[in-house]
Amino acid sequence: MRRVIKDLKSGGKVYIILIYDIQTITKPGQRRMRKIFTLSKQYLNHVQKSVFEGELTESKYMELKSNIEDLINAETDSVIFFKSRDEKWLDKEMIGLQEDKTDNFL
């Protein structure tokens, strides 16, 4: 546990999976969703509809999180961040249509 904290404080990278669910019944909700999509794409790889993943420094993660908090309506929208020290600690399994856009990266 100490090593993880030390890695994050020293600018180490974390692997992030971001999933959002934005209420889009109203025009403002549709605008929020587009803004969150665009913002997320600036930091992470778009994997599927409202799912993004990628590696960020802790400071970039905090920046993204803060920007999203400013955009969402906390009463109707939700955003989930899964955070790991490294992608290798996750088992990723996909069923159905597989548009894993991260397979193109070396």
pLDDT for 76 beyond 90? yes
Domains: count for the chain: 1
- Split at pLDDT 50, 70, 90, the class of 84 is confident
The answer to whether position 92 is within a domain reads no
What is the domain range of residue 72?
A: 2-84
The answer to whether position 38 is within a domain reads yes
Residues with Cβ within 8 Å of residue 98, at least 6 apart in sequence: none
pLDDT in tens, 2-29: 444 444 454 689 999 999 999 999 999 9
**CATH code, 69:** 3.30.70.240
Residues with Cβ within 8 Å of residue 90, at least 6 apart in sequence: 15, 17, 84
Residues with Cβ within 8 Å of residue 74, at least 6 apart in sequence: none
Nearest-angstrom CA–CA distance, 79 and 71:
11
The answer to whether position 75 is within a domain reads yes
